[in-house]
Amino acid sequence: AQSVTQLGSHVSVSEGALVLLRCNYSSSVPPYLFWYVQYPNQGLQLLLKYTSAATLVKGINGFEAEFKKSETSFHLTKPSAHMSDAAEYFCAVTIGGATNKLIFGTGTLLAVQP
């Protein structure tokens, strides 16, 4: 079975500072990994995904994530936070292909201070 763990339910950074949101996964087979963002009162929007190609994945809004098999991690980063990045971020895992079962982490709420 697959699972993801997001460390830190709340993260606060200053505008312009590095954003680092942590995600560790567990999977018995090569996983597909995703980061979704949810702005207040909205649905989820895909930020980026890893599907066994390049280990460093670039997404929208300047975010990127690196798949590290040895550490079973898929941390999300952005060099310089912007006020508009304030949102909740979800890491998710699936074994891909035919399955429709996307397993989500519990989410990390990112606050950006001026």
What is the x/- site pattern for another protein, positions 15-54, by CB under 8 A?
Answer: -----------------x-x-x-----xxxxx--x-x---
Question: Dihedral angle at the C-alpha atoms of 81, 88, 40, 13, nearest 10 degrees?
Answer: -30
CB-nearer residue toward another protein: 41 or 70? 41
Q: Does 55 contact another protein by CB under 8 A? A: no
Q: Does 107 contact another protein by CB under 8 A? A: yes
| Cα 52 to Cα 75: distance, rounded to the nearest angstrom | 16
Among 59, 64, 66, 96, binds another protein (CB under 8 A): 96
* Amino acid found at 51: T
The structure tokens 């963002």 sit at: 37
